[in-house]
Amino acid sequence: MKVAILCGGKGTRIRGAVADAPKPLLNIAGRSLVHRLMEHFAEYNYKSFVLCLGHRGGAIRDYFDDADVPSDWNVELVDTGEETMTGGRLWQVRDLLQEPFFLCYGDALSDVDLSKLVEFHSGHGKIATLTTVHPRSDYGLLDLDGAGCVRSFREKDVQQNQWINAGFFIMNKAVFEYLNDDASLILERQPLEKLAAVSELMAFKHDGFWKSMETYRDWLDLSERFKVNP
């Protein structure tokens, strides 16, 4: 199975706080974020990658020209446009992907069990699977009564009754029937909404580690985790 990685976002909320680099190249305890992501797939023997480049794509090309990438990895770099959205980027690499394939975001890391994810996808027979996790609130959560009295307080708690899209998709080629060549097409909007509406989208629940790189605080958290558990 090939692994398509979306590496085109601009990362405006973190730009300048860490380094002038695209998010996939941010240094996480001595390795770039995207390199650590690829290492996770390689641990499960998935070593064929298609990187969908956009913002600062040249920097990512330069990185892989110089990086110490294992010789048994196959890395294809595809320029999918500076302003292209996620659905448009995936559409542009459709001819490079066999069925089924992984798709993930180039700015998030996880310890998701890929063998169990593949087993789940193979078992349900639907077009697409996404990995889902419980979100963690960035703020303390209050439970109030009608008079404004605080009945409970939970500092930055995991929201157990909610699930969010964590990426780490598996998709069959039939997903491209829901995509087109519109560069403004956002995968997470119309395509996934349509798949859900026709019951062709399943969710693999992951209770382990997952972290998306959105802020400077996220970079610090990821860096600390991988210093302790390289």
Task: Please give the domain boundaries of the chain with CATH numbers for all domains.
Answer: 2-132+162-228 (3.90.550.10)
Reduced 3-state DSSP string for 6-60: EECCCCCCCCCCCCCCCHHHCEECCEEHHHHHHHHHHHCCCCEEEEEECCCHHHH
Per-position pLDDT tens, the chain of length 230: 999 999 987 655 555 555 567 889 999 988 899 999 999 999 999 999 999 999 889 999 999 998 888 999 999 999 999 999 999 999 999 999 988 999 999 999 999 999 999 999 999 999 999 999 987 766 566 677 777 677 766 655 555 668 899 999 999 999 999 999 999 999 999 999 999 999 999 999 999 999 988 888 888 888 888 887 76
Q: Which helix (H) or strand (E) holds 141?
A: strand 141-144
Model confidence pTM above 0.85: yes
